[in-house]
Amino acid sequence: MGRNKYRGNSGYPFKAGFNPKPKKVFRFKVEKLLGSLYLTKPLLERMNIKAIIDSIVPERKENGQIVTTGQVSEVLVANRLHQPRPLHDIEEWAELCGIGELYDVQPENLNDDRLGRALEDLDQYFEEIETALALHVIKEFGLNPEEILWDTTSIYFEGDYDSSELIRFGYGEKSDLKQLKVALNVEKESGIPLRADVLNGNRTDVTIVVENLKKLRRALRKEDILFTGDNAMGTIPNCLLLNANNIRFIAPSPASSIFEQAISSVDEEELDRLVFPDKDGTPKFKVTERGVFIDLPDRDTKAELKGVKPFWARCLIIWSKSRAKLEKEKRAKYIFNINKRLEDIALPSLTTGDTRTKSMLKIRLTNAFRVQNITCARFSATRLWKINRASPSLFML
């Protein structure tokens, strides 16, 4: 058989003179939107998130697991820091942002089913993971958690959430919406969170304090910690319980006669003995202190306070320049409102024999002088102030 003019020596068909090299070279460029991911990756590596979680959460390769819970968690943290997305969008985000190249996790392995299983694992081992991460971060970043700042925040939800054990109506700025609460403990100098609690939305801050601080102290394996909190920490029952558990704390004093008496005993001369100046040389803070005996008259009748002993507390009484300015403005507004109410009351003609009118006058006068906490920062030193007396602008820690 003769050679086919359309076949070369190799037997593959091509026309005579065919050159397989293309006349043009086509190049394809794939762009990945790394953004801040390139900067946050070293931080997450120092935190050792993947290794710590994988050392606690067991692998499930027998169930077809391709990526570990630690790998998934690291990617989820990166997403929250970079461009937060809902679970069903994480796979698309990972493809666009080069997660496969940066974290060696292929986007197709980050479907919402795998993410959901990872979140279930994190929930099951949450406290153990949180403690291990906190201890590692303290060591890695050279933290010295001698002082912890504590506070709570609320996260609000739209919808029913009737089956949720956490999302409930509660106290807060948006009382018409359901919420859950997050109690956060932050190392003072660095601002790094060391522990968090997710709590039922209808719990008040007052009921959270002592339990939270005891857990943190156990988790950090450190007894000598100074906790700083808000008004919720400084209630008298909490003060008694904190002292009973040998927990050192700083908190604003609550509205109570024992603190009111301490503030009333301070005069201007005493405050002028210790002054912290502002940049312009004027006093910014003036400070003095008192010993206050912390107790409740019905302490023994409260189940949570049985066996708890009263104690002497060191209380700082502070005059603040900014607080003084605010109180002056509030007092001026208050006096203006009283004068306006009195003018309104004086307008109608009143007969001395009309007892109904007298009784109404008495009610209106009482309402006119009702005070709306214009006195001190974070608590009222007294409920009623004389009109001719300036607010002292004092608060107590």
- pLDDT for 230-246, tens place per residue? 888 888 888 899 999 88
Neighbours of 289 (CB within 10 A): 16
3-state secondary structure 352-391: CCCHHHHHHHHHHHHHHCCCCCCCCCCCCCCCCCCCCCCC
What whole-number distance in Å separates Cα of residue 347 and Cα of residue 260? 38
pLDDT-flagged residues of the chain (< 70) = 1-24, 62-63, 205-206, 345-358, 361, 365, 368-397
E strands present in 295-351: 311-320
Single-letter residue type at 264: S
Check residue 1 and give its pLDDT.
47
What whole-number distance in Å separates Cα of residue 323 and Cα of residue 233? 21
Determine contact, residues 129/69, Cβ cutoff 8 Å: no
Determine contact, residues 226/397, Cβ cutoff 8 Å: no
The phi-psi region of residue 202 (left if phi > 0; otherwise alpha if psi is between -120 and 50; otherwise beta) is: alpha
Check residue 374 and give its pLDDT.
36
Task: Provide CB contacts within 8 A for 267, sequence distance 6+.
Answer: none
The residue count for the chain: 397
Determine contact, residues 117/173, Cβ cutoff 8 Å: no
For the chain, how big is the Rg over CA atoms in Å?
33
What whole-number distance in Å separates Cα of residue 52 and Cα of residue 308? 40
Single-letter residue type at 376: C
C-alpha angle with apex 16: 13 to 19, nearest 5 degrees? 85
Identify any residues that bridge with 312 across adjacent strands, giving them in sequence order. 293
Structure tokens at 137: 């971060």
Residue written as token pair 């153990």: 128
Candidates 86, 79, 88, 87; CA nearest to 33 is 79
Q: What is the pTM of this model?
A: 0.69
Task: Provide CB contacts within 8 A for 338, sequence distance 6+.
Answer: 368, 369, 387
Task: Show me where the domains of the chain are located.
Answer: 37-126, 144-232, 323-396
Check residue 278 and give its pLDDT.
92
Candidates 355, 393, 396; CA nearest to 374 is 393
Single-letter residue type at 211: E
Candidates 339, 353, 380; CA nearest to 255 is 380
